[in-house]
Amino acid sequence: MIEADVIRQAQAGDREAAAALLRQLETPVYRTAYYLTGNEQDALDCTQEALLKIYRSLPTFKGESGIHTWAQRIVTNVCMDLFRKRRKIVPIGENQWREDERAGREVERGAVAHDLKRAINRLSSPQKTAVIMRYVQDFSYQEIAEAMDLPVGTVKSHLFRARKLLKEWLSEYREGEMAAWRMRK
């Protein structure tokens, strides 16, 4: 948890406080960038750009949302800008999801994870972003709405549709009882 004093000091121009703040935000910002871009290089580029924007925008941070939520909105926008520049849908690269190469149940779980990640990759950009923020980053609906700059109802709609599609695409696992995974509602 980032202390309010550190935020205020950073906003006032204290470079040490700003550096401490950015160090605390760096990992969650990178994680989001990595899941959204699907590769390390783009994630590093987006993280760097997002941290720079966060630093430059600190004086305008009003505290209406949490600093983490505010930072997530910035990194999400940076990633979306990257995709608009490339005219791509947000990819989740196959190579980012490391398969478990151990024998037995671990191999089966790796196959399930691989299929789940391929299915997530098929979702629309907003659905994919919402799923990643909710189920990977464990954000609340409100935090996702703030980060994506959408109403909470729209976020819930994206998540509902995404769960429905994932359930349909991965129905063979439920029918064949090959794996027991459940999406949190």
At residue 44, the pLDDT reads 95
pTM score: 0.64
Residue 55 and residue 129: Cα distance in Å, rounded?
24
The reported pLDDT for the residue numbered 63 is: 83
Distance CA 48, CA 12 (A): 22
Share of the chain above pLDDT 90, in %: 37
- What string of DSSP letters covers 129-178? HHHIIIIIS---HHHHHHHHT--HHHHHHHHHHHHHHHHHHTHHHHHTTS
For 112-131, what is each residue's pLDDT tens digit?
667 777 888 788 888 988 99
Distance from C-alpha of 61 to C-alpha of 43, rounded to nearest angstrom: 24
pLDDT for 88: 43
* Per-residue tokens: 171: 């129905």
Q: Which domains does the chain have, with CATH numbers?
A: 1-91 (1.10.1740.10), 95-185 (1.10.10.10)
pLDDT digits (tens, 9 = 90+) for 14-71: 999 999 999 999 999 999 888 888 889 999 999 999 999 999 999 999 888 889 889 9
